Structure 1
Amino acid sequence: MLFRRFAAVLAVAAVAGLAALQPAKAEPRQYKMDPDHFAIVFMVHHLGLADTVGMFREASGSFTYDAAAQTISDVKITVQTDSVFTNHEARDSHLRGTDFLNVQEFPTMTFTADKAEVTGENTGKIHGQLTLLGKTRPLTLDVTFKGARKYPFGDGHYAIGVSARGTIERSDYGMTYAVENDIVGDEVHLIIEFEGIRQPKEG
């Protein structure tokens, strides 16, 4: 099964999978999130009427993948919390404040991957940890491997494409503003889309 060979890398943020297009004796290689091809989107219910949609515009991520052993290590995705954007200036300012992301005290949130499991030919689950507002909680992402190829233009780098979905309850991280009266939903739905770029060998 194609995904069985890609599942481990699907941890990057999301995150990621790769093996079928790698030689069996390949050495461990580092991958980095393409800063020009990623999206980290969230949706939160508002007043029981509709979802408010936003995104984070600044993030970085990297991991090491051993194709021969099909293992992944050093996985970390870092999101700059002050890059939050919902296309509404007053709301974005509120989100950056102490009621929500508290970006002055916690300028980043991070996701690290623990393990992956296969659920289909090109799908799986990534089990990791999300650190937000100084608290670390488990986060499972449903992931889909979208493809892998060498770029046909530009620098010709080798890249993989991944989609990931997940849900957190923001109150688990101490973000309780407007939860009790259900003005702002507790559940936050995450949508992550990105390309990972294989890095040149060291030395």
Structure 2
Amino acid sequence: MRTIFIAAALAASTFAGAAHADVTTYVIDPTHTFVSFEVLHFGTSTNRGRFDKKAGSVQLDMESKTGKVELTLDTASINTGTAAFDQHLQSDNFFNAAKFPSAKFVADKFRFNGDKLTEVSGQLSLLGKTNPVLLKATNFNCYLNPVLKREVCGGDFETTILRDQWGMNWGLEYGIPNQIALKIQVEAIKQ
């Protein structure tokens, strides 16, 4: 009888712990998600581009302030608005899209200030190398989408990376900067 009581107590505590975890899964909305970059062009103007094809998911537990993000970019979908520049960026001088068709960001560390998300840190895999990246949240919110009738969470995130950490060295000797500003606007739909 004591064994049955202990087993029942363990099962109840396990169920209570599982019920406490409120992890919600969201799928990245590609029509409201863009990863763009900015780089200074020989100290004059700023070149900008973005990746048109992306997919991923977010798992978020607002109560425990934990989560996980997976975002995959199709490197051949780079779009600067100029076809010749896109082809150069897709070449082995930069993203080598033929050999490395995707880049991936995976994060599992979220920092909050109260209920406000302030940072997401994870790993960016690009050109066969993986390095840590810290994204600062400049905006974050969840809302009930009036068209979808579902919760949507999203925000704006940014960071600056050094491209040579991933072996993207072309043009450094010509004065093309190593520093690349990444700007990520993301919205994800509750599943």
The change in CA–CA distance for 1:179 and 1:119 in structure 2 (over 3 A counts) is farther
2:64 corresponds to: 69
Superposed, 1:3-152 pairs within 5 Å as: 27-73=22-68, 75-118=69-112, 122-152=116-146
The change in CA–CA distance for 1:144 and 1:122 in structure 2 (over 3 A counts) is farther
1:188 corresponds to: 180
After TM superposition, the runs of 4+ consecutive aligned structure 1 residues lying more than 6 A away are: none
Root mean square deviation of aligned Cα: 1.9
Post-superposition Cα deviations, 1:156-200, rounded to whole Å, max 9, x if no partner, equal 111012110011111111110011231x2111101111111110x
Amino acid at match of 2:167: G
Structure 1 unaligned regions, length at least 5: 1-23
Higher helix share: 2
Post-superposition Cα deviations, 1:120-148, rounded to whole Å, max 9, x if no partner, equal 77351221110010000111111134321
Tell me the CA shift for residue 27 of structure 1: 3.3
More deviation, 119-128/155-164: 119-128
Tell me the CA shift for residue 70 of structure 1: 3.2
User: Contact conserved, 2:142 with 2:153, CA < 8 A, in 1?
Assistant: yes
Larger radius of gyration: 2
Aligned-residue identity in percent = 34
Structure 2 unaligned regions, length at least 5: 1-18
Mapped partners of 1:123, 1:28: distance in 2: 16
User: Contact conserved, 2:125 with 2:131, CA < 8 A, in 1?
Assistant: yes
Mapped partners of 1:44, 1:114: distance in 2: 28
Post-superposition Cα deviations, 1:12-59, rounded to whole Å, max 9, x if no partner, equal xxxxxxxxxxxx957322111111111111001111111101111111
The change in CA–CA distance for 1:70 and 1:47 in structure 2 (over 3 A counts) is closer
With normalisation by structure 2, the TM-score equals 0.83
The change in CA–CA distance for 1:144 and 1:62 in structure 2 (over 3 A counts) is same
